Amino acid sequence: MNAVSRRKFLKISAATIASATALGTVSCTRDKIKASAEKGIKTIPTYCNICFWKCGAIATLKDGELWKIEGNPVDPLSRGRLCPRGTGGIGAYSDPDRLKTPLIRKKGSKRGEEEFVSVTWDEALTYIADKMNDIKSKYGAQSMAAFSHGTGGKFLKHTLKAYGAKNIVAPSFAQCRGPREVGFELTNGNFIGSPERTDIKDTKCMALIGSHLGENMHNSQVQEFSEAIANDASIIVVDPRFSVAAGKAKYYLPIKPGTDLALLLSWMNVMISEGIYDKKFVEDFGFGFEQLAEEVKKYTPEWAYVETGIEPDLIRATARELAKNKPASFIHPGRHVTWYGDDTQRSRAIAILNSLLGNWNRKGGFYEPSKVSLPKYPTPAYPEMAYEKADNPGKKWPLLGDAEGSTTGLRDATITGKPYPIKGWLVYATNLIQSLPDERETIAAINNLDLLVVIDVIPNEIAGYADVVLPESIYLERHDEFNNAPFRQSFLSIRQPVIASPDDQKPNWWIAKKLAEKLGLGHYHPWKNLDDYLRYTSEKAGFSYERLKKEGVILGPKKPINVEEGATQDFWTKSGKVEFYSTHLEELGFDPIPKYTKPEQPPSGYFRLLFGRAPMHTFSMTQTNPLLSELMDENVVWVNNDVARQYGIENGQYIKLKNQDGIIGSKVKVYATERIRTDCVFMVHGFGHRSKALKSAYLKGGSDSLMVTKYKVDPIMSGTGMNVNFVTFETEA
Amino acid sequence: MARYGMVIDTKKCVGCQDCVVACKTENQVPHGYSRDWLAYETIGKFPKLNMEIRTERCNHCDNPPCVYCCPTGASHISDGGIVLVEHDKCIGCKACVASCPYDARFVHPEGYVSKCTFCEHRVKEGKDPACVSVCPTHCMYFGDFDDPESEVSKLLQERKYHAIIPEAGTKPHIYYLT
């Protein structure tokens, strides 16, 4: 049995071939790594970065090579279990399409042609610093801007501020959860934040409005969702698509897209007219309840039926179910909520309903999170930046905060040169071609730039337009700032290198420090390295750095998270109360109580394009990860069976989508199904890559964002409603 | 002697495929192959639908055709009823692949037949199989059906369940709670 068999021989030769092809050009570096690697099993804690939930994890190396990564049992976010993206995170290391060296756009080539030459870090950073100095002397520091997503952008933003630039924005606000935060803040003076402060595990009734937990794989939320199901909580799912969550629901409301606000107002009508809302909470903490009661009188379930297509009996039954279980019941505020351009008002309606349920800081409703506060590592003061931010001239969007900023506002400024020219973009870890609506405008803005720098781990579409592309080490190869996100119990978790970068990739903090040095701003990064920085701040906060390195996560003190545990209910609005009627909005010229407006309907033969998430992918960032792409290597377009029959489209057939502006997408497979309404289609976001450098994902699946040429801007805070595009089928694919 | 098996709560499963990727990394399953997978069944007409999502793998049957048809004895029932393939004895004839009603087996690029082992190497250390230990919904349970006090035995006493293709008569050891 132990003699060398045919199979053993095959095994050896297959392994030899595999290593020869897989390692290819980088074999020298990897050999060096291997030579120094320790034999046996080694575990190193860190926190995940495949999405922005930042779960605590433990990576295992076998003989110096990455074997697996698992949840850190001490970590309150993962509770020892990662999601599929986290588990497949090690695939990011062996991603065949990773950026390997710094790149500068080939002389004479145009932006978007993806023609680059490899350069050294010194050449790349010198090029960037020279251009930044040019921009400063010609236009001023305000003309340099940044788009940054996630933890890693921190030190780059710091360098930019040291240079004097403050036009720094992220798509997580105007393209994602901005309306939710503004809507809740207007209503009860508290925002939702990330992770969402929803007590799913203790709830007795939860309504999801378009939010597809389970497909939307925010780890703690999904874990708690499963607990709620096990506890037999009533799940109410409102979605034009029979989502995975709908399959778990006691009540499924197949709503006509764009009419959610009608349903929400009608729920208010039922709760108030039947007197089943939390009267004591409203009496103790409410402001303007009488006006609300008067306003929603007209929004009967019969009225809402005409708008939403939901039977009046079902509207009443679900309103009563929510009320019956109060305060351990809530309407989930959602996360990606930029749908129709009136999203702040819809979020406000959700906040109002939650207040009618009296669930703020109540068990099974919302909870009071806490976080570890970290001291700042002392650095010199930033230069004075007295100029107005370019993304929101004249406070055009009155409730767009300076701290958040508007991506599309900054893009507008770059196109128009008003209020002043924007000439440089530094883009960190966000694929603006797919994350912002109407890529034609993004490209128009880019063509006005003197400098576009893209810092990322893979060459996504945006990198193809860059002047300089900087290859970042993946999360398993670098230090980053601690995670101290607000949660049920405060905690601190560390990200530290598990393995060396295989090529010439560098961590973001190193890039930020070296760029600062090139700009003569090195003194803003006084730490030797990030290890030094992390040690200083954690020990100042009273946490042992050595223990963090060893255990990955340290919990902070436990504080009461709801009234039941002794927490208070504080509302930081102007009136200090829950504002059913918003005088703040009224003063600004907006509706003080949300009003329903009918959504525009698709022309005949067109269908509303909806998009969402799949559990194994994050945006357009993971399609080349070999472990994750194996789970899903292309998206499909969901088409109702009856519609497919009517159009002569077969399940599994490849078609192309064409939108209302005549834009035609790449080939995408049809999923003909009962699981969606007949007036819309659905796609998972992030596929249909058109960057040739992403060889393993190139033109696989269809791009929803290519179809999003139209968007409706929320006049309150600049969110871009993107569910306003209509598509038809091109079957001659 | 233990009799290992799994109970999977389809009410909790969201079909995220974490079990699939955890198996792949734990067992270093080569690209393009997998030992476990997801099944989605939807019945009804929109919007009155019922959906079951299941994670599936080798059922480690009591009456395993894959073991009976193996000409070399490579396929065998090991301790705890775990059906395994001894790689060195396997000649890659694929008789077992054809005999399995669950399509749970594949020929590994190295030439032998491969499939789910219930992570025997972990079970020996007292751990759950990788798929069970990673599941964010806690929908999977692994344990000993010979022990009436085990969680898996108790779940079958308390809840309604079904197995897959029981009519094949293979006596599967994975049960799905409904």
Whether A725 and A619 map to the same domain: the answer is yes
Nearest residue of B to residue A632 by CA position?
B17
Q: Confirm whether the ipTM is greater than 0.95.
A: yes
Res A513 pLDDT > 90: yes
CA distance A475 to A26: 19
CB-CB neighbors (< 8 A) of B112 in chain A: 7
What's residue A6's pLDDT? 36
Mean model confidence pLDDT for chain A: 95
Q: Is residue A427 part of a domain?
A: yes
Confidence of residue A403 (pLDDT cuts 50, 70, 90): confident
Whether A232 and A325 map to the same domain: the answer is yes
pLDDT tens string A612-626: 999 999 999 999 999
Domain holding A431: CATH number? Answer: 3.40.50.740
CB-CB neighbors (< 8 A) of B10 in chain A: none
Domain coordinates of chain B in residue numbers? 4-177
Q: Where are any strands of DSSP class E within chain B?
A: 4-9, 37-45, 48-56, 75-77, 83-85, 106-107, 113-114, 140-144, 161-162, 174-177
Res A337 pLDDT > 70: yes
Q: Is residue A492 part of a domain?
A: no
CB contact under 8 A, A229 and B11: yes
Q: How many CA within 13 A on the CB side of residue A440?
A: 7
Name residue B5's beta-bridge partners.
Answer: B143
Res A9 pLDDT > 70: no
Q: Is residue A558 part of a domain?
A: no
Whether A299 and A344 map to the same domain: the answer is yes
Joined together, the tokens standing for residue A642 give: 């009856």
- Rama region for A25: left / alpha / beta (φ>0; ψ in -120 to 50; rest): alpha
Confidence of residue A488 (pLDDT cuts 50, 70, 90): very high
Q: Is residue A547 part of a domain?
A: no
Nearest residue of B to residue A68 by CA position?
B25
Q: Where are any strands of DSSP class E within A349-467?
A: 424-428, 451-456
CATH 3.40.50.300 fits B4-177, yes or no: no
Q: Pick the residue of A85, A651, A671, A674 with the most B CBs within 10 A to test the interface with B by mutation.
A: A674
Domain holding A642: CATH number? Answer: 2.40.40.20
Q: Is residue A233 part of a domain?
A: yes
Whether A349 and A203 map to the same domain: the answer is yes
CB contact under 8 A, A84 and B20: yes
Whether A277 and A346 map to the same domain: the answer is yes
Domain holding A209: CATH number? Answer: 3.40.228.10
Chain pair A-B, CB pairs under 8 angstroms: 139
Whether A351 and A422 map to the same domain: the answer is no
pLDDT in tens, chain B (178 residues): 799 999 999 999 999 999 999 999 999 999 999 999 999 999 999 999 999 999 999 999 999 999 999 999 999 999 999 999 999 999 999 999 999 999 999 999 999 999 999 999 999 999 999 999 999 999 999 999 999 999 999 999 999 999 999 999 999 999 999 9
Whether A133 and A240 map to the same domain: the answer is no
Whether A351 and A418 map to the same domain: the answer is no
The Cα of B178 is separated from the nearest Cα of chain A by a number of Å equal to 11
Whether A360 and A222 map to the same domain: the answer is yes
CB contact under 8 A, B111 and A215: no
Res A7 pLDDT > 70: no
CB-CB neighbors (< 8 A) of B44 in chain A: 674
CB contact under 8 A, B25 and A6: no
What's residue A23's pLDDT? 35
Q: What backbone torsions phi and psi does residue A609 show, to the nearest 5 degrees?
A: -90, 120
CB-CB neighbors (< 8 A) of A68 in chain B: 22, 25-26
Least CB–CB distance from A631: residue in B9, B17, B45: B17
- Total domain count for chain A? 4
- Residue from A396, A67, A165 nearest B25 by CA: A67
What's residue A36's pLDDT? 55
Q: Which residue type sits at A642?
A: D
What's residue A37's pLDDT? 59
Q: Which domain holds residue A297?
A: 192-369
- The verdict on A314 touching B (C-beta cutoff 8 Å) is no
- The verdict on A676 touching B (C-beta cutoff 8 Å) is yes
- The verdict on A117 touching B (C-beta cutoff 8 Å) is no
pLDDT tens string A165-199: 999 999 999 999 999 999 999 999 999 999 999 99
Q: Is residue A50 part of a domain?
A: no
What's residue A354's pLDDT? 98
Q: Is residue A278 part of a domain?
A: yes
Least CB–CB distance from A214: residue in B14, B92, B134: B14
CB contact under 8 A, A71 and B134: yes
Whether A299 and A271 map to the same domain: the answer is yes
Confidence of residue A402 (pLDDT cuts 50, 70, 90): confident
pLDDT tens string A567-584: 999 999 999 999 999 999
Whether A394 and A307 map to the same domain: the answer is no
pLDDT tens string A12-66: 333 333 333 333 333 444 454 554 557 899 999 999 999 999 999 999 999 999 9
Q: Where are any strands of DSSP class E within A468-552?
A: 468-471, 491-493
- Residue from A42, A37, A72 nearest A494 by CA: A72
pLDDT tens string A197-248: 999 999 999 999 999 999 999 999 999 999 999 999 999 999 999 999 999 9
Joined together, the tokens standing for residue A545 give: 């750095």
CB contact under 8 A, A615 and B15: yes
Res A712 pLDDT > 90: yes
Query: ∠ CA A234-A239-A244 to the nearest 5 degrees?
Result: 65
A393: Cβ–Cβ under 8 A, 6 or more apart, which residues? A413, A418, A419
Whether A356 and A208 map to the same domain: the answer is yes
CB-CB neighbors (< 8 A) of A222 in chain B: 14, 16, 136-137
